Amino acid sequence: MKRIETTVEKLDDVRELFKRFSHFTVRDGKAIYHMIHLPDKSVGIYYAVRCADDSSYIEAKRALEPLTKIVCWGE
């Protein structure tokens, strides 16, 4: 798998560098997240979201600041 380090704000730019984006991790963590959500009327807090294996529900979410380091994984 290919690994690229970036920040939350630049995730969309990095996703274009992969043929197939898989997931991302926060800082040096092991928890896998699949998407980032910025709520309406947010004060700049993003949420990393992890889906269940069958994608039927949200399994977990984590608050992130815009300059939080994330590591993107893909092919």
Write out pLDDT tens, residues 15-51.
Answer: 788 999 889 999 888 899 988 888 888 788 999 998 8
pLDDT band at 73 (very low <50, low <70, confident <90, very high): very high
- pTM for the model stands at 0.81
Distance from C-alpha of 31 to C-alpha of 13, rounded to nearest angstrom:
22
The structural domain count of the chain equals 1
Segments forming the whole domain that contains residue 67: 2-74
Determine contact, residues 20/33, Cβ cutoff 8 Å: no
Up-side HSE of residue 42: CA atoms within 13 Å toward CB? 12
Q: pLDDT at position 16, please?
A: 82
Q: Which residues contact 16 (CB under 8 A, 6 or more apart)?
A: none
Element (H, E) at 47: strand 46-51
